[in-house]
């Protein structure tokens, strides 16, 4: 990786999500092992773990961006660079307005994955209306790469920046996908750096929660 560049996982979860098992200590250990420089903690409908990690200066040597994967009436939307939690089940436009009121960025996760609460056709409408900043073009939990390819086409169609995330819900998932990009300081420079980013990733299924 080039000097002055960082590895950024734009989308991952901790046990605070409810459907994930990774503790902050486990996340710190895994991030250090995988040499990730920046993590966006994007728990479902909560920001408590992300804010705790950010308050102590990061985890495992990685900086923390506070995020939230928000269930809206249209599907899931992620807010990045948040300062406070956004309620779930709002109309998508209202949730996006609240993200932007905080100076945050609007990130569309796995827009076409039918197995999750994805936006589907609504993603195109939000992009057309100028209500999205970043489209996740690689999600490491998607086995069918045509779905990631469709997300890439969506980003290209509307001239939006591409994101990538492990979507890790367990420690083994951390490091499955990330961006290599110029370092940044804040939302505006993050967006600018994304224009030069390189996606690195592989499909990695969720590790089984229990073993026989």
Q: What is the pLDDT of residues 154-180, one digit of tens each?
A: 999 999 999 999 999 999 999 999 999
| pLDDT tens track for 119-136 | 999 999 999 999 999 999
Q: Which fold has domain 5-201?
A: TIM Barrel (3.20.20)
Residue 1: what pLDDT?
79
Confidence of residue 211 (pLDDT cuts 50, 70, 90): very low
Residue range 17-42, pLDDT digits in tens:
999 999 999 999 999 999 999 999 99
For residues 84 and 106, give the distance between their C-alpha atoms in angstroms, rounded to a whole number: 14
Q: What's the pTM value of the predicted model, to 2 decimals? A: 0.96
Provide CB contacts within 8 A for 39, sequence distance 6+.
Answer: 8, 9, 12, 27, 31, 59, 62, 63, 64, 65
Looking at residue 64, its pLDDT comes to 98
Percent over 90 (pLDDT), the chain:
94
Distance spanning both ends of the chain, measured CA to CA: 40
Sequence-ordered list of residues with C-beta below 8 angstroms from that of 137, at least 6 positions apart, any chain: 148, 151, 152, 155, 162, 163, 164, 199
| pLDDT band per the 50, 70, 90 thresholds, residue 58 | very high
Tell me the mean pLDDT in the region 95-112.
Answer: 98
Domain ranges across the chain: 5-201
Q: Is the dihedral of CA 46, 139, 72, 21 positive or negative?
A: negative
Share of the chain above pLDDT 70, in %: 97
């Amino acid at each position: 990786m080039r000097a002055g560049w960082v590895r950024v996982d734009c989308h991952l979860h901790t046990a605070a999500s409810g459907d994930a098992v990774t503790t902050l200590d486990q996340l710190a250990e895994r991030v250090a092992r995988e040499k990730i420089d920046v993590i966006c903690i994007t728990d479902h409908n909560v920001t408590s773990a992300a804010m705790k990690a950010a308050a102590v200066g990061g985890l495992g040597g990685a900086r923390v961006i506070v995020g939230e994967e928000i269930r809206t009436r249209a599907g899931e939307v992620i807010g990045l660079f948040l300062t406070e939690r956004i309620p779930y089940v709002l109309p998508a436009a209202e949730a996006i307005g609240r993200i932007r009121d905080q100076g945050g960025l609007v990130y569309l996760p796995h827009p076409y994955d039918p197995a999750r609460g994805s936006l589907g056709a609504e993603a195109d409408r939000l992009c057309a209306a100028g209500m999205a900043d970043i489209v996740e073009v690689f999600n490491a939990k998607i086995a069918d790469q045509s779905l990631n390819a469709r997300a890439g086409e969506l980003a290209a169609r509307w001239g939006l920046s591409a994101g990538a995330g492990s979507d890790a819900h367990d420690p083994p998932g951390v490091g499955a996908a990330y961006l290599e990009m110029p370092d940044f300081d804040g939302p505006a420079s993050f967006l600018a750096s994304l224009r030069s980013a390189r996606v690195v990733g592989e499909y990695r299924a969720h590790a089984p929660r229990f073993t026989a």
